[in-house]
Amino acid sequence: MDADDWEKEVADLWADEGVDDDERIDRMRALAEQAPHPALGEFELGGACDSGGREAEADRHYAAATAAGLRDVDPGRAAQLAIQHASTLRNLGRVEEAVTMLRNAPEHPATGAAPAVFLALALHSAGRSAEALRVALEAIEPTLPRYHRSVRAYAAALTDD
């Protein structure tokens, strides 16, 4: 299967709402074996496991995608991986690892402000609610039609930074 066909198969599988989690994981596992690059297959399989509530398995696949060079193969997916993997780590109780991963997440149009949103969630899970709110406000501030200066000042006042 060529790369375009593989991408279409993956997209079709994600779009198929009639597939349950176990079937999606099984089908994605087969697609991962045919991926044009191992990093792509590991990423997509990690996502299927993550979506299906198998966080520990997702963690292993996400780590394998990183080790296989996803950042060089597909920067957009690498940006998504930082968010997805960090969210998985948070769900596994590895909150500080999630915070670190999200602070280092690459910027990419494919994710927009999502790294900041998930960082806010991780910070909240870590019991750092003021910092979480600050991160969320700073992510939202550029999208506001006005009140930029006020929101930036209120956000800064939430923490000592």
In a domain, 154, yes or no: no
Q: Which two tokens stand for residue 34?
A: 């045919």
pLDDT of residue 63: 98
Report the candidate in 115, 69, 72, 119 with the shortest Cα–Cα distance to residue 97: 119
For residues 24 and 14, what is the distance between their CA atoms, to the nearest angstrom?
Answer: 8
- Supply φ then ψ for residue 74, to 5 degrees: -155, 90
* CA 22 vs CA 53, 75, 100: distances in Å: 10, 28, 31
In a domain, 144, yes or no: no
**pLDDT of res. 141:** 95
pLDDT in tens, 118-152: 999 999 999 999 999 999 999 999 999 999 999 99
pLDDT at residue 29 greater than cutoff 90: yes
Q: How far apart are CA 34 and CA 160, in angstroms?
A: 50
The number of folded domains in the chain is 1
Question: Looking at the domain assignment, is residue 67 inside a domain?
Answer: yes
Which domain covers residue 99, as residue numbers?
3-109
Sign of CA dihedral 3, 82, 50, 18: negative
What is the CATH classification number for the domain harbouring 80? 1.25.40.10
- Asked, for residue 115, whether it belongs to a domain, the answer is no
Task: Give the relative orientation of helices 75-91 and 55-67 as an angle to the nearest 10 degrees.
Answer: 150
pTM of the predicted model, to two decimals?
A: 0.90
Task: Please determine, for residue 1, whether its predicted confidence score (pLDDT) is greater than 90.
Answer: no
Does 117 map to a domain? no
Examine residue 23 and state whether it is found in any structural domain, yes or no. yes
pLDDT tens digit sequence for 33-91? 999 999 999 999 999 999 999 999 999 999 999 999 999 999 999 999 999 999 999 99
Decide if 134 is inside a domain.
Answer: no
Residue 160: per-residue pLDDT: 72
Mean pLDDT of the region 98-112: 95
